[in-house]
Amino acid sequence: MGAKPVIFIVSDSVGETADLVTRAALAQYGQKGVEIRRFPMIDDARSLREVIDAARQQPTLIVYTIIVPEIRSELQRLVDMWDIPAVDIMGPMLEGMTRLLGAPEKLEPGRMHRLDDDYFRRIEAVEFAVKYDDGKDPRGFLRADAVLIGVSRSSKTPVSMYLAHRRYKVANLPLVPEVSLPKELFLVPPHKVVGLRVSPEKLHQIREERLKTIGLRSDANYSSMERILQELDYAESVFKKVGCAVIDVTNKAVEETAVRVLEIINRGVNFGD
């Protein structure tokens, strides 16, 4: 069996730009098994050669954002020498900007992140999403831009992380019939709380796949239809009690759900079905 393909993110900064572009492109292929490795702060020839040596060991695509011309040229020389496919994210953009503006670039790796306050807001939002994921600390609800509620495996965490990368602080809470609702949930303005609804059939499929992934029996109560219907009924009762908008995520991509959430919290629009 051949080696699995891998994508190397190579940057003389943190590599976040190349990583985001790579994941957006990869999503168009529906490939979940492709490994992505990030090599940040590559700013000398020796480090570059080590990356190339690693790339030669398996089918590899190198996606890079190298600002310093000498390092970028050396990378281009090495990938040409070893016939390694590579994509330059920043080079063509810098050349186009230079032609348009009639001025050379600053040639400072990481300059955007050092000067861009949005970058630090995004990092703060991601840290917030991790800290207040899965109802870990309900006190975070009062500081959140949005609170997502729904049963387990209703896309709460993926949507929270997606919005965090858009600089929104999002907390989420799993709804479990046996677990009391935190009082903080009812202190949040209703337009900042969004319920995520999913069909029983879709949830059953998702949970069975989840059990297979972690090596548990597929007949566990977690994925039984009786349990799923019980949880979904409970979730609907909570949505009504809170008075929040509800989005049916059954056939929606994470990105589409995130857009709906933003419309709700920014405009107070109710998308309940």
Q: How far does CA 30 lie from the centroid of its chain? A: 15
pLDDT digits 0-9 by tens, 197-252:
999 999 999 998 888 877 776 667 888 999 999 999 999 999 999 999 999 999 99
CB neighbour list of residue 21: distance below 8 Å, 6 or more residues apart: 63, 89
Q: Quick one: pLDDT at residue 239?
A: 98
As a 3-state breakdown, the chain gives helix, strand, coil percent values, each rounded to 5, of 50, 15, 35
50, 69, 61: which is closest to 12 by C-alpha?
A: 69
Angle at 29 between CA 24 and CA 30, to 5 degrees: 90
Q: What is the pLDDT along the chain (273 residues), one digit of tens a residue?
A: 467 899 999 998 878 888 889 988 888 887 667 889 989 888 889 999 999 999 999 999 999 999 888 899 999 999 999 999 999 998 888 888 888 988 776 665 555 554 456 677 888 999 999 999 999 999 999 999 999 999 999 999 999 999 998 889 999 999 999 999 999 999 999 999 999 999 999 999 999 888 887 777 666 788 899 999 999 999 999 999 999 999 999 999 898 999 999 999 987 544 444
How buried is residue 165: exposed, middle or buried, by Cβ count under 10 Å (0-12/13-18/19+)? middle
Give the pTM. Answer: 0.60
